[in-house]
Every structure is written in structure tokens, then in C-alpha cells.
């Protein structure tokens, strides 16, 4: 089992940047593919980005591609989401999640495939 805790959310103006971090504790961090998801009020949770166990592969939703960057530091048990050129439509609660089933060089975008979730951190982008 792994415990996840997000940090770094806040209020930022459109065009600004934020860096989210997710700290993991428990089983070896490199055992999990990691993902970031978000949920806006009245909407379903949606995929944002994911990264494979080693960090060698990553993927993004079309809505954030080219603006967000996911990275991980396995010795430090952290996964980060650098968010640039933020838009008001990026406003949501952001969650990190861990997937214990993915093969070492893969990741998935379906939230139902993730086994562990953090509590979330609020990101608000003002226009």
C-alpha cells in the first residue's frame, strides 16, 4: 500500500504557472505508475497526465499537452506536475494517483485502473 499527499495548489492568474507535488510513502515508489487527474465542480474526474514507473514514458490529455509537464523522482518518492500557461478552465481539484498493475514501461489514463489516491489540492485560475 502507498499513501499519497499532494501540495502546491493555489490561486494564480491566467497565463501563470504552478508546480504541484505528490509525496508518496509506503511500498517502493518505483513499483507504481503515477497519474494526475482533476475534477471541476459538476464534472467527472478527468485524466491530466501519467508517467511510467521508471519515468521513461509519459502522456498527457489533449487539453494540457504542451503546457503541463509530469516528472518523477523515484529516490525522493515524488511526482510533480509543472503547469504553465494556465487557463481559467484548468480550475479544479487536482489528484495524484498510483497504479500498481502497469508494466514497467507503460501507464494508463483510465482513473478506474488506479489503486491509490491522494486527497487532492485546489487549483484556481482567475481570468
Cell of 50: 501519467
Tens-of-pLDDT digits for all 127 residues of the chain? 899 999 999 999 999 999 999 999 987 899 999 999 999 999 999 999 999 999 999 999 999 999 999 999 999 999 999 999 999 999 999 999 999 988 878 889 999 999 999 999 999 999 9
The residue assigned the cell 482567475 is: 126
Q: Is 31 in a helix, a strand, or coil?
A: helix
CA distance linking residue 41 with residue 64, whole number of Å:
18
Amino acid at each position: 500500500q502507498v499513501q499519497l499527499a499532494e501540495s502546491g495548489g493555489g490561486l494564480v492568474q491566467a497565463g501563470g504557472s504552478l508546480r504541484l507535488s505528490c509525496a508518496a510513502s509506503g511500498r517502493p515508489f518505483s513499483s507504481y505508475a503515477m497519474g494526475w487527474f482533476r475534477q471541476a465542480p459538476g464534472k467527472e474526474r478527468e485524466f491530466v497526465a501519467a508517467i511510467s514507473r521508471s519515468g521513461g514514458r509519459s502522456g498527457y490529455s489533449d487539453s494540457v499537452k504542451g503546457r503541463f509537464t509530469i516528472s518523477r523522482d523515484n529516490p525522493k518518492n515524488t511526482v510533480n506536475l509543472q503547469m504553465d500557461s494556465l487557463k481559467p478552465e484548468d480550475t479544479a481539484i487536482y489528484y495524484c494517483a498510483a497504479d500498481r498493475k502497469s508494466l514497467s514501461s507503460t501507464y494508463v489514463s483510465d482513473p478506474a485502473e488506479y489503486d491509490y489516491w491522494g486527497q487532492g489540492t485546489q487549483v484556481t485560475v482567475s481570468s
